[in-house]
């Protein structure tokens, strides 16, 4: 299992994960995923600064390159993280269940949708 998050959605997803109130192993897994995404965000931020610096005198090329850059994705692979990803997937699945009491709006709703799609929960509903 792996998830891929677009550069432009990293901050939303991290903030959403950090806002979830969980206990036990689910809390630990959520925190570990958030930390991994934050590490990826640091690299993305450094790369963005590099692009801004290198292309500061070429506004059209900068706009084009940033558009491509923001659509690129960071990947969190399963490997040693399988239990973490499965745990966070179960949390997301419970948040979107039909009988859920949770309501999300704005960035949280957007982040939830990103995670929902990345964990392929929409495909599970069809099966």
Per-residue pLDDT reduced to its tens digit, 2-58 = 999 999 999 999 999 999 999 999 999 999 999 999 999 999 999 999 999 999 999
Residue indicated by tokens 């994960």: 17
The phi and psi torsions of 74 (rounded to 5 degrees) equal -95, 150
Domain count, the chain: 1
Residue 56 lies in a domain: no
Contact 103, 88 (CB under 8 A): no
Query: Phi-psi bin for 121: left (phi > 0), alpha (psi -120 to 50), beta?
Result: alpha
Residue 101 lies in a domain: yes
Residues 114, 13: Cα–Cα separation, whole Å? 8
Residue 54 lies in a domain: no
> Which residues form the domain of 119?
2-42+72-126
Contact 74, 5 (CB under 8 A): yes
Identify the band that residue 124 occupies on the pLDDT scale cut at 50, 70 and 90.
low
Identify the band that residue 98 occupies on the pLDDT scale cut at 50, 70 and 90.
confident
Q: What is the mean pLDDT of residues 85-105?
A: 91
Residue 55 lies in a domain: no
In terms of pTM, does the model score above 0.85? yes
Signed CA dihedral, 66, 34, 122, 105: sign only: negative
Q: What is the mean pLDDT of residues 58-71?
A: 96
Residue 122 lies in a domain: yes
């Amino acid at each position: 299992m792996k998830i891929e998050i677009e550069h432009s959605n990293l901050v939303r997803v991290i903030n959403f994960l950090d806002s979830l109130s969980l206990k036990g192993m689910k809390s630990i897994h959520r925190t570990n995923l958030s930390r991994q995404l934050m590490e990826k965000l640091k690299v993305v931020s450094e790369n963005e600064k590099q692009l801004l610096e290198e292309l500061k005198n070429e506004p059209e090329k900068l706009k084009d390159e940033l558009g491509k850059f923001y659509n690129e994705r960071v990947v969190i692979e399963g490997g040693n993280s399988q239990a973490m990803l499965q745990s966070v997937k179960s949390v997301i699945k419970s948040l979107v269940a039909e009988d859920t009491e949770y309501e999300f709006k704005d960035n949280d709703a957007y982040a939830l949708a990103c995670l929902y799609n990345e964990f392929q929960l929409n495909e599970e509903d069809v099966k």
